[in-house]
Structures are given as structure tokens and as C-alpha cells.
Chains A and B, each alone.
Chain A
Amino acid sequence: MIDVINLQKSFGSNQVLKGIDIKIEKGDIMCVIGPSGSGKSTFLRCLNCMEDPTGGQIIFNGVDIADFKVDINIHRRHMGMVFQHFNLFNNKTVIQNIMLAPVLVGLQDLKKAKRQNSFIKLTNLLRSSKMKKDLVAITTSKAEIKQQAKENAMALLNRIGLADKADVYPSTLSGGQKQRVAIVRALAMNPDVILFDEPTSALDPEMVGEVLDLMKQLAKEGMTMIIVTHEMGFAREVANRVLFIDDGQILESAPPAEFFGNPKNPRLKEFLSKVL
């Protein structure tokens, strides 16, 4: 689903990613670990071009999205992202946070279809009666898009047990609640993959569990996930592959049993001995 080929990223003269090659298949749960400053976040952020790669390719569903010419916004709809610091929209209520993108994107598509239709109608005037072109089928309306997004958001909130918080602002939520809302905000777009950048690192210890539990559920349902994390227990239990990144390179990539049980790279051995 995602094919990363010789991915490089430099900030000025500082080369942070030094050629990363990795294939991510549908349903993969990939955990990324490594020392801080090694380029894990940069790697993750290059996957949806939050940072523009300075070299290499990212083939997502057959398209090289590292190419400046592609409309990245279209592709980002299919890649959710969850941040360390949640980044819920502060000026929106919880349910608005979840609905915002589906509604705006739905309305955009509707507008585009309508624009196309007016163009077809206009050109049809010039065509002979046999040559008339068919209009694009519009099966939805503004109200329907909003209604559907709202129902979907409510279902997601019910799922995480926060339906009663639908109309509050994010500032009133606990860290764990914020992160769970952020996760369902990503889910609301029905993404093909969700990228997590240390989703539990900013949480108080007693709230880490609720977030990891939600992520485990998603994993069970077959969601493709790429997770930068320091939660070794989680990686061992949930991942089907674990990557070790150090100094901008993948030094080891293996199933968790092998990764933790029989690490080969000396730097990984040293790292694991420190954190385990």
C-alpha cells in the first residue's frame, strides 16, 4: 500500500533521513522505535508529506506522493495522523472536530460535481442531440452530507464512550480523552492507514492504557497502522513488524518475536538493553 523508496530528508545541511526503503502492506501494524533525534518523527511525517522529502519516492496506492505535482490534500484524506500533542481544533467542539473534515471534503466534492455538470450542460448546447453528454450523477445534498457526518461522528463517540462530551470544547477533556477523540477524528475520514507519532508520550501514566486499548481494537479490525512509540510491550504484543531507526537509517526490521528475542544489530542490542 505504501512503498517507500530511498527516502531522504535534509533540513538545510543536516541530513536527517539517509535513504529509507520499506514496504507497508494493507493490514500491517508497524511499530517504529529508536533513540530520540534519530529521525522517527521525520520519517513518519514524510509519509504524508507533512515534511516534503528531499529525495526518493513514496508510492501510496500507486501514486508517488513525494512528487510536488500531485495534489497532496486528496491523498492525505486516506492517511490519518495522530500527534503526540493531540492537536484537536481548539475553536471547535468535540463533535465538530470529528465532523469538520468529512463535511468540508464532502461539500468540496459536491461543488466540484456541480461545476462539472454546469460545464457539461453548457457544452451540450453546442452538441447535436445524439452527441449529448450525460451529467455526473449527484446522489447527495449539503444537508445529507452534514447529517451523515454527524451520525458517523456520534457513532464514533459512542464507540469510545464519550458521547456525552460531544458538545464540549477540547480544553475540558483529559489527555487520554483528547487522544481518543483525535484517533476517531482520523477514523472519520475512513483512512487506508493511520500514522501515530508517539501517541502516548504526552499522557499521564494512568491514561496510557485507554489510548493503547483503542489502538489495539483498531489493529484487531485490520486497520493499517504505523506507530512511532516507546511502548515496547505494546509493540511486542500488537505489531507484526518492528523497525529500529537510528541516525536516519533502518538498522533492523523484523517481526516482534525476533526483533526483541534475537536482535542482530549491535546498536539495537545496546538500545534494547537500556530500555527493557
Chain B
Amino acid sequence: MGDFSKKVDAFLDAFINQNGYAKVLEGLQNTLLIAVLGLVIGILIGTVIAIVRVLPKYKVLPRVLNGICSFYVGLFRGTPIVVQLLVFYYVMLPLLGLRISSVNVAIIVFGLNSGAYISEIMRSGILSVDHGQMEAGRAVGLSYWTTMLKIVIPQAVKNILPTLGNEFIALIKETSVVSFVGATDLYIAFNMIGSNSYEFMVPYLVMALIYIVLVLLISLGIKIMERSLRKSDRRH
């Protein structure tokens, strides 16, 4: 045990005295930023794709859009996110001559990637809403889009909220690959602390604990949100 407390001391020294905590805070901030903004972008993209995919398909335009969306979803679900990050950062950006910070690249790629996953979640959410809701909207003279946005999507979102929460947790976990393009996340921060103190056991243990706490907090948040939504159902 004496050995372990020595390791803790070494960790604390690197964490407090050698600016380790600043790096950890930066990593935590990036992790959350990438996950939250990635989720927001993903929900926007996913909703648009989902609506396109449930459009009636007698006309040409919906069919073409549907084809494009299927390709997009297949592409982003069919390749590892690390590969997407690397290709975007080391292939696309130089080819396009763009300069974007690695954190922003990560936000964009996570948004595009989760958009593909969320589109499937959102689509099943839309399909889970009784078709009579759309019919009732159309019957009073509302357009397809108005009915979709005011009636169907709100009910779909409510149905898929738990699944969206899981997607957020998955995003948090997956952010641990952004160091591949040089973004500072929790892994980079604790890795630095480990290198500084020549000791990796405690830093990685603390890193694991931070991830666990993050995920537990988010799960709790989702539960609370679900409960309050259900309450609004029963309001008298």
C-alpha cells in the first residue's frame, strides 16, 4: 500500500504543482464541448434526414434526396469515427485549403457522425407516432411540413428521448479518440500528467472515474427530464 500512496503523491504533485489540473480542465471542457455540440448538430442533421426518409416517395425530388441521405447514413455508420476524423483532418482540410482547429474539426465530425445515427433514431421515432396524427393535421388544412414540425416531431422526440440520452453518453465515450487529430481531451491531459510523474496508474484511474461520474450524471439528468415530461402528460 505504501507503494500506492507514493504513486498518489506523485500524481498530486503533477496534478497540482505542474499545472496538471489546468490541462485536465481543458480536456474536460473539450470533451463536453465536442459531445454537446456534436449532439446538437447531430440532432439537426438527423431530424432533416429522418424527415426526408419518411417523405412520401411518388415524386422525383424526395427519391433523389432519399438516395443522398441513405448514402450519407451508410457512409458515416459504415466507417469507424477515428477514420472519419483522420480523413477529415489530414485529407479533406488540406485538399480544401482550410485551416480549422482540431477541436472544431472534432465537433464537426462528431456532429456529422451522430447525425447519421440520430437520423435512424429519429426516423423510428417518427414512425412510432400514429399515422392518424399526420392525417388529422392535414385534414384541418395544415401543410405536411407544419404538421410534421408542430405535431409529429414533438411526439417523436418525446418517444426517443431515452435513446437520444444513450447517444449522448456514447458520444462522450467516443470523444476519447479526438487526440488522434491533436485535440486535448481527458486522455491527453492525464497522459501528460503520467509522463510528468513517470507514473500512469493513478492518472488513468482518475480519468476512468471522471468518465464514470460524467456518465452517471447524464443518466440522472435524462431520468429527471423523462419524469417531468411524463408529468406534463397527466396534468389536469
Contacts and interface: CB of A to CB of B under 8 A. Distances in A.
A83 B151 contact: no
B146 interface: yes
Interface stretch (A87-95, A206-214, A241-249): A87-95
Contacts of B135: 50, 83, 87
Given A168-B235, A169-B235, A91 B139 contact: no
Residue picked from A74, A89, A105, A171, most chain B C-beta under 10 Å? A89
A156 interface: no
B133 A186 contact: no
Contacts of B235: 167-169
Interface in A38-93: 48, 50, 73-77, 79-81, 83, 85-92
A83 B132 contact: yes
Nearest to A52: B58
A76 B140 contact: yes
Contacts of A80: 139-140
Q: Is the interface of B mostly helix, strand, loop or mixed?
A: helix
A214 B135 CA distance: 23
Nearest to A98: B140
Nearest to A84: B132
A189 interface: yes
A254 to B, nearest CB: 29
A90 B140 contact: no
A102 to B, nearest CB: 9
Q: Across chains A and B, which 10 residue pairs bring their CB atoms closest together, nearest first?
A: A77-B141, A87-B136, A87-B132, A101-B140, A81-B139, A76-B141, A91-B154, A73-B141, A91-B155, A89-B151
Given A73-B143, A167-B236, 17 more contacts: A48-B139, A73-B138, A76-B141, A77-B141, A81-B140, A83-B132, A83-B135, A85-B132, A88-B136, A91-B151, A101-B140, A101-B142, A168-B235, A169-B232, A169-B233, A172-B234, A186-B140
